[in-house]
Amino acid sequence: MTEPAFFILTALLDAPRHGYGIVSDVAELSRGRVQLKIGSLYGVLDRLVVDGLVELDREEAWQGRLRRYYRLTERGRHALAAEAERLAANARIASARLRELHPRPITGPAPS
């Protein structure tokens, strides 16, 4: 699973969101690191819909336009949980190895 797909699924976890709502939430969740462009968002979103991880929730009128809201499917929730577990397991392995090799935090060069 790519990082944008991971964050898009995470953004849809608590509530259905529309396109720009997903972009804003992903930026917030990733602390500004993942700034999705609209072309990139829909490039990921269309695949998530085709794969059955995300589906259309509803359409709402907003300023004379129809906003489409998307929601996570049960399959999407499982896929996200599996990916989060995989990433957490990887992080645990790296943290354990780091603690083993560098028991104390490295604070900078030793004073001369």
| Minimum distance of another protein from residue 70's CB (angstroms) | 9
C-alpha separations of 59 from 16, 42, 75 in Å: 11, 17, 22
| Minimum distance of another protein from residue 88's CB (angstroms) | 24
Q: Rounded to the nearest 5 degrees, what angle is found at the Cα of 4, between the Cα atoms of 57 and 6?
A: 70
Residue 23 CB partners (closer than 8 Å, separation 6+):
36, 38, 41
- Residue closer to another protein, measured from CB, 39 or 108: 39
- Residue closer to another protein, measured from CB, 65 or 102: 65
Report yes or no: 9 and 53 within 8 Å, Cβ to Cβ. yes
| Total residue count of the chain as it appears in this document | 112
Report yes or no: 54 and 73 within 8 Å, Cβ to Cβ. yes
- Residue closer to another protein, measured from CB, 52 or 85: 52
| Minimum distance of another protein from residue 109's CB (angstroms) | 34
| Minimum distance of another protein from residue 41's CB (angstroms) | 7
- Residue closer to another protein, measured from CB, 46 or 85: 46
User: By the criterion CB under 8 A, which residues form the site for another protein?
Assistant: 2, 18-20, 23, 37-43, 46, 62, 65-68
